[in-house]
Structure formats: structure tokens, C-alpha cells
Structure 1
Amino acid sequence: MFAHVDINNCYVSCETLFNPTLKGRVVVVLSNNDGCVIARSNEAKAAGIKMGDAEFMVRQRLKELDAVIFSSNYALYADMSARMMNNLARYTYMLMVYSIDEAFLALANLKTDLEKHVAMISKNVMRDTGLSITIGIGPTMALAKLANKAAKKQKRDYLVLDTADKIYQTIKDFPIEDVWGVGRQYYDKLTELDIKTAEDFRQMKPETVRQYMTVQGWRLHQELWGKPCNVIKDIADRSKGIESSQSFNTYQTELEMIEEAAAMHAATVAIKLRQQKSMALQLTIYLRTNKHNIKHDQHYPSITVKVPFAINSTHELTKICIQGLRAIYEPGYNYLKTGIRATGIIPAGEVQYNLFSDYDNSKQLALSNLMDEINDRYGRGKLRIAAEGYEKTWKMKQEFLSKQYTTDWQDIIVTK
């Protein structure tokens, strides 16, 4: 059996946890640069505020609702996520963090009452973290994910699909577009075939599924029949790469300012690589203008650099990214965003060196690890390389940012 767990209204829940007066109110969290709505309280959903709504388009509506607005507080959300994941790890021999607010747990063949076991997990996570979660249980990862969504629709804390009848009763009316793995492209194809529910999809012949949806669709089809095709991994998925990007709070035309942002992204990518004990063989650096502003000339340059040896050193990544940025930058454009993507991810212990080279990254790695230790103790970004600059005039707009309740000594709540 597998469990799928996610935090209910994650970003809003994290804000409400440290400000209980928000309960029952319309609360929204905005994306980078306070651009659009990316999280909503149940009250905001009921009021018609939609995911992805541009802030300027719903500004008046939010004012009428006396809504509380927050900028994305990623440090807070990431820390609360880590607390939940550490808590969940006590109930499984293998945990896979799927996103900041989602995780899969391998439950194997527990010799216990699943209903009671799941209720205990939900209760303990709330007790230990203050976060409300929903849990879906099923014989495959796809059914566990489906059970979680069904539980939310039924306004339940959890749903266990441990019999064929329970599975059928849940999927017979479950919309196909809400099934994990059915994206827009597959949904359009299935609509043409008059497939409307998960049960409709399950009744398709496997060879027909493979014809229209390739092997991924076939695996999903098998999983909905209770035949596991996906496995929980206890390591990060290295196939997707690691990326860090961010829009500027205003247009940038000077190379120096853009270099500082690129250096910050390079440092972020390097940290993520070291955290998952990986190294990168390839780096992509890109720039973006604002495609929605037709008054400005558009420019979307990028460059991909293959490094001689796999790296995860902050200094090495920054040096390569700055060089790449200088190669693609052109004056005269109003740039709105830059980003760094690391691909060709391999385990740190599997680096292939050249017989004819004396390359040694031990000093760079030792320096990066020392920076990590200092920043872990005194706060992220307290010690950084000079290329990141000192005053970040280009940083993203965050007019509604809440406090760093769990990661900054100055913001820790004090009781009397």
C-alpha cells in the first residue's frame, strides 16, 4: 500500500499557523513580484478568487472582501514543509518528497487497521507541526493520489482504498482531468474518445491506451487497476534537473545588475546540488524580456555550457554562469528575468575524471561546505561570494511579506 500526503492550502496554512486571527478570513498568497494568486484560503475559493488570477485584476475584489494578502514567504514555507516531512518519515521505511507540500509514503503490508493508522498519522502531524493534511491510501501511487483528491472533494481528512469495491465506488464518477498524469494533451485525446471518468479510462483496452498515450498512459492504466508500475524513490529525481530563476521587480538594462542575479541563482543551484549529494555536467543560462509588453523589443537568449567535470561548487558554477551570461547579453533590451538550470545530474560519488588531467575540486568543495555551515547557523545569504553583490536593487517585489517566524532570530514569536 502507498500513501499520498499533502498540506491543505499549504502557503495559507503556514501563514495562518503563526497568525490564528486569519482563520475564517479571505486570505491569498501571491507569486514572485506579487504578480498573481498562487494560494487561497477556503473562504477565498468560495468567494470566487481563482488560482492564477492576476493581482491587479482582483485587487478591487480583494479589497471588497477585506482580504489579507501575503507575498510568497519561501523561507517559512520550506521550513514548515521540512518539519512535516521529518514527521511523516517516522511512519514509513521510505519517503519520497514530491513537492514542497506533497509526499508519498511506502506502507508495505502493514498488519494493522489502515483506517486507524491513517487517522493517527493525521492527528500526530497536526499535533507536532500545526499543519492540517489530507491523506490518500491505495495499492498504487496513482490510486493513492486519486484517493487524496477524492478525500478533499468529500471534505474528509483521509480516504483508504483497500478493496476493489472502494476503488470502483471512488473512480466511477471521478473526472478524468483530475487523474494524476492526465495533462492537457492527454485530456484532449481522451475527450475525443468520449472518456470522461477514471472508470471510463480504466475500461479502455491496454493496447488502445498505449496507442494514444504511450507507455506513461499504459502505466497509469495499470495503476488504476491496482497494479503498481511506479516506485517510491528515496533519492531526488535527477532526470528533471535543478533550476533557479526569478523575475526582477523592475526592468534591468545594466549587465552588472543582471550578473548579480545570475550569481545568486548559481549559488542556489549549487546548494541544491550539494543537499541532494549530486553534481551537474551541464548548465543553461537564459535571459527573458517581458513578452506581454509589446512596446518593448523582445529578446530570449540562452546558452548551454557543458562542463569538463561534474561540479557542485558555488564558485565554479558562478564563474561559468557569469561567463555564459556575458556571452548572451545584448545592450538595449529591457530584461525582466534571468535563470540558471543544471542538467546532466549525477550522484556526487560517480564523477568520471580524466586520466590525463590533474583536476581536483576538493578545495572548492571544502570552501562551499564551510559556507553552507556558516549560512546554516547564521541565516541563508549571510556569507556569499562578491559576485552576488551587496545591495540587491533588482530583487523581487514583496510588499506583503510576513515574518520569518522559524528561520530568523529577530522574528521568532515571544510569549509572556
Structure 2
Amino acid sequence: MLEEAVAAHATRLGEKLRREGLGTNHVTVFYHTSEHDRDDPMRSVSTTVQLPEHTSDTLALIKAARHGVAKTWREPGERPWRFSKAGIVTNDLVPLSHSPRALIGALDRERSGPLMAAMDACNARWGRGAVVPARAGLVSRRDWNTKFEMRTPRYTTQVSELPVAYA
């Protein structure tokens, strides 16, 4: 489930990078348990995975993210970890058209470009999450998604959430 969550975040990162025409050559993967569950073992982990060149390819980002999880995963004792948050962070974004290509281990942009464009087109037509890599899991079957029931209203950014006073 942790790898699925990290893969889903990498999928979303790829969508955002392609929308802006940007690429990244590294991802920082993190996950941690809740600091409020004092009875459970606590763990906070992060690692940075380098890519051979800048990319916005979802499949390359998922592979790097899964490598980060594999690199940091440690089996718990007798009690399983109950992770409360996982994600991906990246910085040093550059325009993909101006990024240098790798000599060794270069990614195949010419082959992955049409696939990513088709995936983005399907998601634009049928809604985000309509087409996702299998590693990211089916959106409808994710039991780890963000729970919005306890979120505070977003009055300043969502006009639809403004309180209405009736006279």
C-alpha cells in the first residue's frame, strides 16, 4: 500500500510537470507514522533518488519513487508500521526542452512522449485518474486517500465554500 501511494504521488507529479513543460532529475520520497499514535512504533524516513536526466515521464518517476521506498524500507518488529503520510518532493525544475541529455542511461523521451500525451489526453477527457499506471492502483479502490471530512473550509480560495446567511 505504501508503494501504491508513492506511485500515485509520482503519477500526479508527472502530470503537473508535463502540464508546465518542466522536468526534474531527482525525487525525494518521504513517509512517516503519526506522531499522535503514541502506542504504535514511530518512524520517519526520506531519501532522494537521482534520475539520469531531467524527465516528466510518469513511469520513470514511479520507478525512482519505488526505488526510494525499497532503499529505505525496514521490516518492523512484531507490530506493523501504520504510516499516516507519504509523498514526493522535488525542486530544481527546468524546462524540459532546454535540459541536457544523459550520455549513459539516457531516457527514451521520443518513445515515452506519445504515451504520456495519450495518458494526459484520456485523463483530460474522462477525468483525472481515468488512466493511471497499474503501480498507482485503481483510484476507486484506494483506501488510503486523503480524508476530507475533517478539512477546514477554504473560504479564501473556493467561492463555493463561502458561508451563506439567509434572512
1:321 counterpart = 2:65: yes
Runs (4 or more) in structure 1 with deviation over 4 Å come to 355-359
Using the size of structure 2 for normalisation, the TM-score is: 0.79
Aligned partner of 1:364 among 104, 112, 116: 112
Name the counterpart of 2:161.
none
Aligned partner of 1:392 among 122, 126, 142: 142
Aligned partner of 1:340 among 81, 88, 113: 88
**Whole-Å separation in 1 of the counterparts to 2:4 and 2:106:** 31
1:261 counterpart = 2:11: no
Name the counterpart of 1:382.
130
RMSD between superposed Cα atoms in Å? 1.9
Change (3 A) 1:278 1:358: closer
**Whole-Å separation in 1 of the counterparts to 2:102 and 2:56:** 18
1:301-336 deviation line (CA, Å, top 9, x unaligned): 111011111110111101110111122122332211
The residue type paired with residue 273 of structure 1 is: L
How do 1:69-218 residues align onto structure 2 when only pairs under 5 Å count?
A: none
The residue type paired with residue 23 of structure 2 is: M
1:132-167 deviation line (CA, Å, top 9, x unaligned): xxxxxxxxxxxxxxxxxxxxxxxxxxxxxxxxxxxx
For the Cα contact (< 8 Å) 2:52–2:107, is it kept in 1? no
Partner SS for 1:344: coil
**Whole-Å separation in 1 of the counterparts to 2:64 and 2:113:** 16
Deviation at 1:356, TM superposition (A): 5.8
Unpaired runs of at least 5, structure 1: 1-256, 402-416
**Whole-Å separation in 2 of the counterparts to 1:304 and 1:350:** 23
Partner SS for 2:93: strand
Deviation at 1:392, TM superposition (A): 0.6
The residue type paired with residue 363 of structure 1 is: R
The residue type paired with residue 86 of structure 2 is: T
- Paired residue total: 145
The residue type paired with residue 328 of structure 1 is: T
Unpaired runs of at least 5, structure 2: 152-167
For the Cα contact (< 8 Å) 2:28–2:90, is it kept in 1? yes
How do 1:197-276 residues align onto structure 2 when only pairs under 5 Å count?
A: 257-276=1-20
Deviation at 1:353, TM superposition (A): 1.5
Query: Which fold has the larger relative contact order, with Cα–Cα distance below 8 Å and residues 6 or more apart in sequence?
Result: 2
Name the counterpart of 1:116.
none
1:373 counterpart = 2:147: no
Partner SS for 1:306: strand
**Whole-Å separation in 2 of the counterparts to 1:306 and 1:265:** 17
1:283 counterpart = 2:33: no
**Whole-Å separation in 2 of the counterparts to 1:328 and 1:318:** 16
**Whole-Å separation in 1 of the counterparts to 2:120 and 2:73:** 30
Change (3 A) 1:350 1:400: same
Partner SS for 2:88: strand
Change (3 A) 1:296 1:369: same
Deviation at 1:359, TM superposition (A): 4.3
Partner SS for 1:301: strand
Larger radius of gyration: 1
Using the size of structure 1 for normalisation, the TM-score is: 0.33
State the percentage of identical aligned residues.
28
